Amino acid sequence: MKTRPELYLALGIAVATVALGAAPARAEDELPPERPTTPYSATMRNTFSITKPGGGSSGGDTVEIRVSGARLLEDSRIMEEKSVIVDMEKHEAIEFDPKATDKVAARFPLNDAPIPYVQGRAGLAAFDTSWPAPKIAGKDKVAKQKCTILHYGKPEEDGIAACVSKEGVVLRAKLKFPNYEREFEALDFDAGKQDEKYFRPPDDFKVVEGAGPEDAEQTE
């Protein structure tokens, strides 16, 4: 079963093409860890395109992300001033504008869309559970980090081409379905512990349930 594209557009789940000249796979190559084995921060470039009868849409963004266990902070740089904190264990996302004068953050239930930033290649496989195990297609470097190129399904028409680090971090991926394509690629990467302050709204923000303060209840 495929995950519908609209479920993961908002979280910037995305991807990038396998670079020309990447090193070929060897018989002794092994798959990288299924999930990230280290907390990390990175700058990610995202693009997407959707084709529909009579038109479509496309766009992109550059986001700063921080990942620690099941939690993700994503700060948008281009599309809008917005921060999103995701906790996959709690199945919730908190969204806020860090510069907003009303100092309100909205909490939403999290859908079941895969999040490769957090889930690593396990998240890639979850886009279509009918795909067999990924094929190793060589080695490459992304953001100065060595990574293993993995192919899921048929990457040129209905699948994913990704590059995953030895720590299990998806540094680059290109997701392609009929009429839908999305890419992300790390521009920089830094492994290491992330401060807890990044995974909660600022202390002076009020967290409300739903779409905004006008129709939501304050969280105690």
- Give 175-205 pLDDT, tens digit per residue: 999 889 999 999 999 999 999 999 999 999 9
Report pLDDT for 25: 53
> d(Cα 143, Cα 202) in Å, to the nearest integer?
30
Cβ–Cβ < 8 Å for 181, 48 = yes
Report pLDDT for 58: 85
Say whether pTM exceeds 0.85.
no
Report pLDDT for 2: 47
For residue 102, count other CB atoms closer than 10 A to its CB. 10
Report pLDDT for 51: 81
For residue 58, count other CB atoms closer than 10 A to its CB. 10
* Mean pLDDT of all residues in 111-132: 96
* Mean pLDDT of all residues in 107-128: 96
**pLDDT above 50 for 121:** yes
**pLDDT above 70 for 1:** no
Q: Which residues pair with 107 in a beta bridge?
A: 94, 209
Of 218, 205, 216, nearest to 105 (Cα)?
Answer: 205
Q: Give the CATH fold of the 5-209 domain.
A: outer membrane lipoprotein receptor (LolB), chain A (2.50.20)
Q: Which residue has the higher pLDDT, 94 or 59?
A: 94
> d(Cα 185, Cα 145) in Å, to the nearest integer?
12
Report pLDDT for 24: 58
